[in-house]
Structure 1
Amino acid sequence: MADIEGMFSQVLVPREDRDLLRLLWWQDGDVTKPLTDYRMKVHVFGAVSSPSCANYALKRTADDQAKTFGKEVAQVIQRNFYVDDCLCSTPTVPEAVKMVEDLTESCKRGGFHLTKWVSNERKVLENIPEDERAKGV
């Protein structure tokens, strides 16, 4: 299992659509100060559109990286993610180690950082940097 770190904020909003994610801000919460108008450049948690936009970007990453990392890795990205959480299994430890490496690199090339890795096999975890493993499992 793994998690995409800050998934929504990894997906850019096209410049022509940024007015749709506009927010108004008063410095220090003081409504007597001048109002500042901001537009988000990335998708935000809580916006109705963010999950589908991020999911599209992730699936596009699978398509874009399929030639480099193979059909199996692309299928895991296509079918084994629920929003930002990945859950997949392999028949052997060496296959799991390879899958972790390939998923990590494939997602990285699409701008997604896989982290919080968990496995029921210690040998798989030993091949994952400690700072990329889930804490307190």
Structure 2
Amino acid sequence: MFLRVRVCAPDQRAQLFLWRGADRDSEPRVYAMTSLIFGASSSPTSAIYVLNKNAETCSDEYPNAEMAVKRDHYVDDFICSTDSVPEAAINKRRHHSARAGASISGVGD
């Protein structure tokens, strides 16, 4: 989930790192992480904010998906139950759209 959230360009400078690869004789190059990083205390909160914001953006078209995203998510886990398999399939499609293209793995794929 963290790697799907892009960090705006000015904030990427706070995530610089050095890398030289296997060539230990060369000078290391400076790189910037362009997405949320694992291990940063702010990454879970930022990811949840983006997830909820995407759900709000799609709420006019998928009102049930917005509610499901906000109510049934914990970090990158989604837990939702339905009364029937067809209803679950519909919810999956709605949820998929509300997540702006991020896929749900392990659900009837």
Query: TM-score, normalised to structure 1's length?
Result: 0.72
1:21 has 2:15 as partner: yes
2:86 to 81, 94, 97: 94
| Whole-angstrom CA distance in 2 between matches of 1:101 and 1:111 | 10
Query: TM-score, normalised to structure 2's length?
Result: 0.89
Q: Which amino acid aligns with 2:38?
A: F
| Whole-angstrom CA distance in 2 between matches of 1:9 and 1:28 | 25
Aligned to 1:121: none
Q: Note the C-alpha offset of 1:64.
A: 0.6
1:62 has 2:55 as partner: yes
Mind listing any 5+ residue stretches in structure 1 that lack a counterpart? 1-6, 118-127, 133-137
Mind listing any 5+ residue stretches in structure 2 that lack a counterpart? none
Q: Note the C-alpha offset of 1:92.
A: 2.7
Per-residue Cα deviation, 1:25-57 (whole angstroms, up to 9, x for no partner): 122162x32021111111122222211111111
| Whole-angstrom CA distance in 2 between matches of 1:115 and 1:8 | 16
Give me the CA root mean square deviation: 1.5
How many pairs are equivalent? 109
Q: Secondary structure at the match of 1:67?
A: coil
Q: Secondary structure at the match of 2:58?
A: helix
1:9 has 2:15 as partner: no
1:52 to 45, 50, 65: 45
Q: Percent identity?
A: 29
Q: Is the 8 A contact 1:10 1:111 kept in 2?
A: no
